[in-house]
């Protein structure tokens, strides 16, 4: 079974721009979650999608949004980028929402 | 509210010494507890889950509902155990919440 795939692996953007990150879950997994990982804050939950619906949302500003497609692939969008958005963004898929999560390699976003 | 607390950001242990990574949680229902590990340059992966009651790479974790804890233990640390460890809490049909992580550094 192919693992969770995230693209791109690395991104460099300037402040004010927007960015879209992509995640392909493990085949058959319907839940996709996004996390922001930083050295100071650890793993912070962004949102979770299940069958194209956002079921859970973390405490991030509205600049952070996402969606899930009918094939369970998910995208995350960050608009009006700020320097503080620089982080590793991880996607995880699971069969159900709160069960074992399988992580992708992440997308390293650097905002300059 | 769901919360996972890992009180130690960094834990340094000599090789061969016992390891205990602390994790406390708050949750009103019946949670599933996990430990995830991230080795250098590798993706975050599941180490063990409380319902499995198994030992992985010599690590065990017991769920103590009275103390709301799920500490990770290993009797004899090995150098390859150096990694970032995250305690996590989840429930079916819900999100998984992670603690801030503990970096385990095994000293030679």
pLDDT (mean) for B44-55: 86
| Residue-level length of chain B | 108
State yes or no: pLDDT of B51 exceeds 90: no
Q: How many CB pairs under 8 A join A and B?
A: 63
Please state, rounded to an integer, the average pLDDT across all residues of chain B. 91
Question: CA torsion angle for B32, B38, B43, B47 (degrees, to 10)?
Answer: -40
SS (H, E, C) B52-66: CCCCECCEEECCECC
B43 near A CB under 8 A: yes
Q: Which residues make Cβ contacts (< 8 Å) with residue A6, sequence separation at least 6?
A: A21, A22, A23, A24, A89, A90, A91, A104, A105, A106, A107
Residue whose structure tokens are 């996402």? A66
State yes or no: pLDDT of B11 exceeds 80: yes
With H, G, I as helix, E, B as strand and everything else as coil, classify residue A85. Answer: helix
Cα separation, A62 vs A84, in Å, equals 15
Any idea which of A73-77, A96-100, B22-26, B81-85 has the lowest mean pLDDT?
A96-100
Model pLDDT, residue A41: 82
pLDDT (mean) for B79-104: 89
pLDDT (mean) for B40-47: 92
- Decide: B79 and B106 in contact? Cβ < 8 Å: yes
pLDDT (mean) for B31-60: 89
Model pLDDT, residue A98: 62
Model pLDDT, residue B1: 74
Tell me which residue in A43, A45, A98 faces B93 most closely, judged by beta carbons: A98
Cα separation, B45 vs B40, in Å, equals 12
- Decide: B70 and B64 in contact? Cβ < 8 Å: yes
Question: Is A99–B44 a contact, with Cβ atoms under 8 angstroms apart?
Answer: no
Cα separation, B97 vs B87, in Å, equals 9
CA B29, chain centre distance (Å): 20
User: Which residues are bridge partners to B88 per DSSP?
Assistant: B34, B98
> Which of the four pLDDT bands, split at 50, 70 and 90, describes residue B27?
confident
pLDDT (mean) for B47-69: 88
Residues of chain A with pLDDT under 50: none
How far apart are the CA of A80 and the nearest CA of chain B, in angstroms?
Answer: 26
Model pLDDT, residue B93: 60
Q: Residue B55 has which token pair?
A: 């030992």
Model pLDDT, residue B59: 95
B51 near A CB under 8 A: no
- Decide: A38 and A87 in contact? Cβ < 8 Å: yes
DSSP per residue, A8-39: -SEEEE-TT--EEEEEEPPTT--EEEEEEEET
| Higher-scoring residue by pLDDT: B97, B17 | B17
Number of C-beta neighbours around residue A61 at 10 A: 11
Question: Is B98–A43 a contact, with Cβ atoms under 8 angstroms apart?
Answer: yes
- Decide: B34 and B48 in contact? Cβ < 8 Å: yes
């Amino acid at each position: 079974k192919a693992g969770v795939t995230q693209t791109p692996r690395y991104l460099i953007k300037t402040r004010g721009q927007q960015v879209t990150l992509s995640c392909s879950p493990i085949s058959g997994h319907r839940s996709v979650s996004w996390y922001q990982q930083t050295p100071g804050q650890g793993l912070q939950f962004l949102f979770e999608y299940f069958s194209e619906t956002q079921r859970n949302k973390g405490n991030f500003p509205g600049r952070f949004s996402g969606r899930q497609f009918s094939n369970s692939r998910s995208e995350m969008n960050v608009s009006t980028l700020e320097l503080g958005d620089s982080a590793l963004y991880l996607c995880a898929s699971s069969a159900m929402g709160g069960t074992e999560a399988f992580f992708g390699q992440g997308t390293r976003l650097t905002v300059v | 509210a769901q919360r996972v607390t890992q009180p130690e950001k960094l834990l340094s242990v000599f090789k061969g010494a016992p390891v205990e990574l602390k994790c406390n949680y708050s949750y009103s229902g019946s949670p599933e507890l996990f430990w995830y590990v991230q080795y250098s340059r590798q993706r975050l992966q599941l180490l063990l889950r409380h319902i499995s009651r198994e030992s992985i790479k010599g690590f065990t974790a017991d769920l103590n509902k009275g103390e709301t804890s799920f500490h990770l233990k290993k009797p004899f640390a090995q150098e390859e155990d150096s990694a970032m460890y995250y305690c996590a809490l989840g429930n079916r049909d819900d999100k998984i919440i992670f603690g801030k992580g503990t970096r385990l550094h095994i000293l030679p």
